[in-house]
Every structure is written in structure tokens, then in C-alpha cells.
Amino acid sequence: MNKLIRTLLCSLLLLCSAGIYAQKGLQIADVFQKYGNRKGSTYVELSKNLSKTWDITHYQSLKMQRPEGALSEIYRSLEADREHAKKIKEVVADGNIQSGYYQLPPIQKGINRYILFRLGKKGEATLIYIEGEIDSDDLLSLMFNKD
């Protein structure tokens, strides 16, 4: 079931962009807005009760096949947003973040927020924003469970 959820989350393409409000005050909101509809990008947004099992209420992802022009902006946004975040996991190579998982301060009691970033082996970049009651341990389990 977890594999089905991961596949669904990573493959749906929605054209709606109303979820920018969920990231109000975050620099990554600009990245989603600017690059979400560009050629070579896949933008996914899922809202409401996405998963009762994982208590995710909002999910946004942006995958860019050729992020060269956007990488500097993504890195600047990550740097700004992670100043107020708790690092869950981060991998840095040659001074650049290869992958990072950050927990932001909650927007209200019990509603956690996360930013996930990954630069793939083929150069593609994936940026994810997740919001809900899910805790960081469950999020890591969801992301890395190989069911």
C-alpha cells in the first residue's frame, strides 16, 4: 500500500496552483509558482485528507528534468527556509545540498510542515512540501519504506 501511495504522490500531475497559501511566508512557494508549469517540470498538488494513515493534509511536489536554470534559486530558497527549520537529514557534496529533509515550525499546534529536496543521479531536482499531523519518523518511514 505504501508503494501505491508513493507512486500516486510522485506521478499525478495537477494543474491547480492554489496550494501556495500553505507555504505562505516560505521562499520555496516562489519556486513552486515560478517553475510549476514550465516545460520539463512535473507539478503535483494534493490537498485535504490525503492519507488518513499518514495524516497528511497537503502535499506539493515539483520535479524538474533539467533544473540548471532553477538550481541557484532552489538553493537560495532552501537556505532561507531552513534557517527556521530542524534538519532531519541532509547530504552535502561539493558544497551543494544533494538531499535535505527539514521540519519547519508548525503552523498551528499539531500541524507539522516539511520541506524535502533531492538532486537525482541524472541531474533532475525534486522539491516537496508536506503538511499535516505526520511526525518526522513516520515521514521518513513513508519515504524510504520499500514495500
Residue 107 falls inside a structural domain? no
Q: What is the pLDDT of residues 63-92, one digit of tens each?
A: 999 898 899 999 999 999 999 899 989 999
**pTM, rounded to two decimals:** 0.79
Residue 134 falls inside a structural domain? no
Residue 61 falls inside a structural domain? yes
Residue 90 falls inside a structural domain? no
Residue 93 falls inside a structural domain? no
Residue 73 falls inside a structural domain? yes
Residue 120 falls inside a structural domain? no
- What range defines the domain where residue 33 resides? 8-84
The total of structural domains in the chain comes to: 1
C-alpha dihedral sign at 120, 138, 102, 62: positive
Q: What is the pLDDT of residues 5-50, one digit of tens each?
A: 444 444 332 323 334 345 667 999 999 999 999 999 999 998 766 6
